[in-house]
Amino acid sequence: MKFFFPDSQDQVDPTFDFLSEERDPFRVRQRDDLYAHEVLKPPPFNGLLVSKAIVDGTASSSTGKYTGPQRHRLYRQGARNFFRLDNGSAPLKIMGDCGAFSYVGEEYPPYTVEEVVSFYEGCGFDYGISVDHVIFQYEPKVLRTDDAAAEWVRRQQITLELAAEFWRRCSASDVHFIPLGVAQGWSPESYASAVVELQRIGYRRIALGGMVPLKTKDILACLKAIGAVREYDTQFHLLGISRGEEIPTFAGHGVTSFDSTSPFRQAFKDDRDNYYAPHRTFVALRVPQVDGNAKLKARIRSGEISQGQAMQLERAALARLRQFDRDEVDVDATLEALMTYSALWDRKADRTSQYRDTLENQPWRVCDCTICASVGIEVIIFRGAERNKRRGFHNLHVFGQRVRRQLGADDRD
């Protein structure tokens, strides 16, 4: 089972000073900042997934997340050099897709098959996914002949027609990447019918899209129906799905790869599960910058509290955490500083028991990843991109270990 991590230009600055919170003035982001696979050993994933929408944008958004110079550099250098895929302890693969979530509200996908093939081939991808139009609804009792399914049928048909054209162009051009067709559906039966058609076209690698909102039991129901029509050599890729506890079950249904940002994003998007440990998660310790927290800035502007007082309590909380990490103060003293500062900007949520749990367990001290070993308690502090992304990288490390454990694979594989 291969895990692909979707790229969104997430890197960390190795020159970042956690005490002064300053960077090297001569730092060049693309040259100096590091990807997760350059920081962690072994790499926590088998490859990257890069979406055309992220790189080039769409007609409605006009631009993606890449700057003009970054986009030109990717096309000029190729994906392997741009992402430095050979710089980690193991070489990685790269997969491309169109980023259907970015244009879900449009009538028709904004890219032609020719544009997408050119993108994959020009950037030197190992795998390329056909153009698709996502279906978010899941209604297993609705038949394709029902009026309610008209839009879903339309999107599925568009996806299959584009997959057929994608296959023809790839075959005629003798491309250097392996093509994947996309199956979209709204029920187990509709997914199965899409897989039948994709196999008829010639695909033996098929990406299953639109399953992100589904519950695990619904994903398994779809895989069971797909399994009944699957050719013996057809392999599936799950788009946007992790569900680590179900990895062995997915593998039993012909799933050989998946992609997900969940472990990374939970580091700074989740309310509770911010830091992964082998068998559980911990909440991160929130110490936001005074000038970067909207609630705190509003209280300062209204005159409820002074900016000087807020900055003093912010510095005190950070200092106490570092003293705790050096075993100079106990949990209670550290918790007091944290909660005193939290009261200025988060008067509704009481995280005392969660913070105590994190501090008493000190999970960063027993983690074997290079992030925790190098920055210590800074990794568990919820504050700014450099700490939050490092915690996300740590989560990828732990998630990768979980996947290998689920599959019974040695960590060195």
Q: What is the pLDDT of residue 3?
A: 95
Q: Residue 410's pLDDT is what? A: 44
Q: Enter the tokens of residue 351.
A: 């995280």
Question: Is-contact 342 286, C-beta < 8 A?
Answer: yes
pLDDT for the residue numbered 87: 84
The per-residue b/e assignment along 163-175, b for 16 or more CB within 10 angstroms, e otherwise, is: bbbbbebbeeeeb
Distance of CA 127 to the CA centre of its chain: 18
Which of 11, 5, 97 lies closest to 55, judged by CA?
Answer: 97
Is the CB of residue 44 less than 8 Å from the CB of residue 36?
Answer: yes
For 184-311, where are the E strands, in sequence order? 205-208, 235-238, 255-259, 275-277, 280-282, 285-286
3-class state of residue 236 by DSSP: strand
Res 100: pLDDT: 93
Comparing CA positions, the residue from 223, 246, 260, 210 lying closest to residue 46 is 260
* Structural domains of the chain in order of their starting residue, each with its CATH number: 2-260 (3.20.20.105), 270-402 (no CATH)
**What CA–CA distances, in Å, run from 195 to 23, 120, 206, 230, 232?**
50, 23, 8, 7, 13
Q: How many helices (H) and strands (E) does the chain have?
A: 18, 12
Residues with a known catalytic role? 97, 259
Give the residue among 184, 278, 190, 281 at the shortest CA–CA distance from 239.
184
Nearest CA among 25, 22, 50 for reference residue 35:
50
Q: Please report, in tens digits, the pLDDT of each residue of the chain (413 residues total).
A: 999 999 988 999 999 999 999 999 999 888 899 999 999 988 999 999 999 999 998 766 555 788 889 999 999 999 999 999 998 777 899 999 999 999 999 999 999 999 999 999 999 999 999 999 999 899 999 998 999 999 999 999 999 999 999 999 999 999 999 999 999 999 999 999 999 999 999 999 999 999 999 999 999 999 999 999 999 999 999 999 988 788 999 999 999 999 999 999 999 999 999 999 999 999 999 999 999 899 899 999 999 999 999 999 999 999 999 999 999 999 999 999 999 999 999 888 899 999 999 999 999 999 999 999 999 999 999 999 999 999 999 999 999 999 988 887 643 33
Write the single-letter amino acid at 213.
P
Q: Looking at residue 6, what DSSP letter applies?
A: E
Per DSSP bridges, beta strands 255-259 and 2-6 are parallel
Integer Cα distance of 186 and 221 in angstroms: 12
Angle at 145 between CA 139 and CA 149, to 5 degrees: 40
- pLDDT of the residue at 412: 38
315: which residues sit within 8 A by CB, 6+ positions away?
none
